[in-house]
Amino acid sequence: MTNQDLLAIAKEFGTPVYVYDVNSIREQYEKLTSSFSKNTRFFYAAKALTNINILKYVEKLGASLDCVSINEVKLGLKAGFSNDRILFTPNCVDLAEIEEAMSLNVHINIDNISILEQFGNKFGGSYPIFVRINPHIFAGGNYKISTGHIDSKFGISIHQLRHIERVMKSTNINVEGLHMHTGSEIKDPDVFLQGLEIMFELAEHFPNLKYLDMGSGFKVPYQDGDIETDVKSLGKKVNAAIKKHEETSGKKFQLWFEPGKFLVSKSGHFLVKSNVIKQTTATVFVGVNSGFNHLIRPMFYDSYHIIENLSNPKGPERIYTVVGNICETDTFAWDRKINEVREGDVIVFRNAGAYGFEMSSNFNSRLKPAEVMFLDGKAHLIRKRDEFEDLLKNQIEVL
């Protein structure tokens, strides 16, 4: 996909608009499948981007699906994933949502003692489950996306192993899988090996174990100089560790990973229009026709997105602060070097495929943007832009 393709899409569909180049998703998926053993499965983390067309594309690639809500499970089934290719890993839900997932016959992952006890007392070993462990490994590019540290709400502490065993013994729960996820944007790939060694130690306490799920957190580059997780090197190390454990223990497990951002982030391009150029005593602002209602990652995670002027790529470079049109401080980037921006220019945010549209809202009663899939050299509208009536769709007037 070229910048000219993006400009043509902006002209045809307007801005703001999210554009996904699915060739990038395929390339990222093939990096993974070629790097790990055939006894490894990859579950796309749906929370990164759930447009039904993206889900269908990922399903056709051969991936499975990681879901964190019952509605993601239903979307996955609608997209064509068979129930044995779906893992449901909710957090802080009540037993009713777990039971609904059981009725859909998907893999279920339980991440706290309370629900584990409720489940065991009601269902015993009639439905095999996964247990999510908190390994107390601090990893991830940002505290907000680190999920395996000691104060995380995710998972059951490894120090509560005896409690898990008591529940297993008293209720006959059948644990077929162990799961851990330490965070996103993991810069040190050895974190996965550290987690795998913990998994091997825990596995001895679960006689019916079939699966070890390492979650994900593979790093993707957001700016020049950033690293991407070397999955080929990691794959070799993981494959060697698995082989060694099989030889010493005589036990064989299927290994699972849950890539989300790694698959779809690079595919996404968010196109906006420059509304105003505003100069104060110290700063030149580019005000665009979007805000954190469409792309909240820079404000929420302090994340970095490359920003380029597609309309004037050869203009002289100037220093701008890029802001949105929301009645809050919604700064996308401070003091960023960009080719000269004029009012009406089309601006692109790179690496916007993961947690972009997915975290969008109607804050300030602004409308959500359109989504476009770029497939086989053609642009396809896969979500129409919100209209004013969408703001009122579920409201009930009583006055």
Whether 147 is covered by a domain: the verdict is yes
Angle 179-33-269 from CA coordinates, rounded to 5°: 90
Torsion over CA: 151, 156, 160, 161 (sign): negative
Range of the domain at 253: 23-262
Shared-domain flag, residues 224 and 90:
yes
Strand ranges inside the chain, DSSP E:
17-21, 40-45, 64-67, 86-88, 107-110, 129-134, 156-157, 175-179, 211-213, 254-257, 268-279, 284-288, 307-309, 317-323, 331-339, 346-349, 370-375, 378-383
The residues annotated with a catalytic role in the active site are: 327
Burial string for 312-336 (b: 16+ CB within 10 Å, else e) reads beeeeeeebbbbbbbeeebebbeeb
Give the pairing type, strands 317-323 and 284-288: parallel
Can you give the CATH number for the domain in which 345 is found? 2.40.37.10
Listed residue (143, 140, 144, 154) closest to 216, CA to CA: 140
- The reply to whether 217 sits in an annotated binding site is yes
Q: In angstroms, rounded to a whole number, what is the distance separating the alpha carbons of residues 111 and 109?
A: 7
Q: In angstroms, rounded to a whole number, what is the distance separating the alpha carbons of residues 263 and 22?
A: 10
DSSP string of 193-224?
HHHHHHHHHHHTT-TT--EEE----B----ST
- The reply to whether 355 sits in an annotated binding site is yes
Listed residue (188, 193, 186, 181) closest to 220, CA to CA: 186
Q: Give 146's DSSP letter.
A: B
Q: Tens of pLDDT along the chain (399 residues)?
A: 999 999 999 999 999 999 999 999 999 999 999 999 999 999 999 999 999 999 999 999 999 999 999 999 999 999 999 999 999 999 999 999 999 999 999 999 999 999 999 999 999 999 999 999 998 875 444 444 344 446 678 899 999 999 999 999 999 999 999 999 876 566 677 888 888 999 999 999 999 999 999 998 888 889 888 888 889 999 999 999 999 999 999 999 999 999 999 999 999 999 999 999 999 999 999 999 999 999 999 999 999 999 999 999 999 999 999 999 999 989 999 999 999 999 999 999 999 999 999 999 999 999 999 999 999 999 999 999 999 999 999 999 999
Q: In angstroms, rounded to a whole number, what is the distance separating the alpha carbons of residues 263 and 33?
A: 12
Shared-domain flag, residues 222 and 171:
yes
According to the model, what pLDDT value does residue 381 have? 98
Shared-domain flag, residues 97 and 43:
yes
Q: Sort 229 into a burial class: Cβ within 10 Å, 0-12 / 13-18 / 19+.
A: buried
What is the number of domains present in the chain? 2
Shared-domain flag, residues 310 and 380:
yes
Whether 130 is covered by a domain: the verdict is yes
Listed residue (331, 266, 211, 324) closest to 48, CA to CA: 266
Whether 397 is covered by a domain: the verdict is no
Q: In angstroms, rounded to a whole number, what is the distance separating the alpha carbons of residues 334 and 181?
A: 32
The structure tokens 């309309």 sit at 311
Q: In angstroms, rounded to a whole number, what is the distance separating the alpha carbons of residues 258 and 131?
A: 15
According to the model, what pLDDT value does residue 182 have? 73
Q: Which residues pair with 317 in a beta bridge?
A: 339
Shared-domain flag, residues 166 and 303:
no
| Domain end among 262, 291, 324 | 262
| Domain end among 262, 291, 321 | 262
Residue 98 gets the label, from left (phi > 0), alpha (psi -120 to 50) or beta, of alpha
Q: In angstroms, rounded to a whole number, what is the distance separating the alpha carbons of residues 111 and 94?
A: 12
| Domain end among 262, 281, 314 | 262
What global pTM score does this model have?
Answer: 0.93
According to the model, what pLDDT value does residue 355 have? 97
